[in-house]
A and B are shown apart, each in its own frame.
Chain A
Amino acid sequence: MKSSSKRMAATAAVAIFASVILGACATPPQHNDMLEHARGVVAIAQSNPNVAGESRADLATAVAALNQGDAMIKAGKPTADVEHEAYIAERFGLAAQRGAEYSMSEKAIADAQNRRNAVLLSAREQQVVRANDRAETKSMEADAANANAQASAQQNAAAQQRAQELESALADLQAKKTDRGFVITLGDVLFATGRADLKSGARHSLEKLSAFLHEYPQRSVTIEGYTDSVGTDDYNQGLSERRAGSVRDALTGMGISGDRIQTRGLGKSSPVADNGSETGRQMNRRVEVIISETDARTATRAP
């Protein structure tokens, strides 16, 4: 009985010591803020695909410390120990993150020459494209200019030809260029003395004029009759008007519209030669046909 009570006392002592051990070392909390923070940092590094090489070794250190911390919590180790592991895990987790950033930057720097070359290459390509565009535009412009030049040369040639034709037609009519336009003088010989009707010889000259007017339908004529100074003014005026009218009638008879013909009698005014001689008087007895410039009415001779 005595010995059994002593044994019980010994057993009790062992139990007390055991509970003292547990009481001294077992820290009940299963959660540590620092360790959870570290877990977050490590998780970020783990999800970063750029963690490689030395950063991977840092991440492994961080993970190991985190696991150690977890094991310590489970084993009820002191908070200070757990937090030490949490600290190590957090620092190495951050180191893994920074290391990944470092390798990305280094890669970008190493790639700089390639990127520079790419920019230069694309610039050169654009230059070539632009140069081609410019060349194409230039050649198109040159083609257009050529075509224009050809067209205008043709126009010039045509205009020149028309001018030459007109010139030779006028020369054929013995038209003289004056400040009033081209003037054809039908001489006295075409009329019988003192009469207004045309001699048959005049027909030939008027046929040529009519042909000209058919050829150049834009042109109109002014027919002016003149006399010498012999006879009364009234007579001369009337004669000059009648002679101009005869020429008009001849032309309308040849199919020229009366609208294109103006007539006037100017009597003895505007002599072209001295009335003192028979030759001069003959030159003054005349009909002048003034051919208008295109479409324009002929200028009237100032009295």
Chain B
Amino acid sequence: MKSIHAASAVFFGATLILSACATTPPPPTTEMTKAKAAIEQAQRAGAREYSTEYLNASMAKMELAEAASAKGNNEQATRLVEESYADAHLAQISAQSAKSAKAAADVDKSIMTLQDEASRTNTP
């Protein structure tokens, strides 16, 4: 009876270890779909041209995630997929921002030209 107590204590301890460190999460299927969509969106926004670094990081992480997932390492796969998504999102926003900044600079230039022309026609 006393040895049973001891055995149950050992078992309880082992369960504690497992629940604390060895989480076995499900494969990140939904997250992967979401991240892949984000990569496509970034590419459509011009990330290949305007934010290559972030896009490349995102795609590299996606490959690693797929590899980890294939090995059944779901925890690592989930992390990598989340990071891949964050990279893709940043790549998309950066591309949009860079394109927009370029367009705004063109607009500034055209307005400056207009101003020059206006002042030229106004000088005697």
Contact = CB atoms under 8 A, between A and B. Distances in A.
A105 B102 CA distance: 9
Contacts of B21: 21, 24-25
Contact of A92 (B10, B89, B100, B101): B89
Contacts of B6: 6, 9-10, 13
Contact of B79 (A10, A18, A84, A130): A84
A91 B90 contact: yes
Overall SS of chain A's interface: helix
Interface in B57-82: 79, 82
B10 to A, nearest CB: 6
A127 interface: yes
B15 to A, nearest CB: 10
A102 B93 CA distance: 8
A91 B83 contact: yes
A109 B104 contact: yes
A6 B1 CA distance: 11
B100 A105 contact: yes
Interface string B4-32: 01100110111011001100000000000
B94 A98 contact: yes
Interface residues of A, number: 42
A274 to B, nearest CB: 77
* Smallest CB-CB A-B distances: 7 pairs: A17-B13, A123-B118, A91-B86, A105-B100, A102-B97, A10-B6, A105-B104
9 contacts: A13-B6, A17-B14, A20-B17, A55-B93, A58-B93, A80-B79, A88-B86, A102-B100, A108-B108
Interface of A: 3, 6-7, 9-10, 13-14, 16-18, 20-21, 24-25, 55, 58, 80, 84, 87-88, 91-92, 94-95, 98-99, 101-102, 105-106, 108-109, 112, 115-116, 119-120, 122-123, 126-127, 130
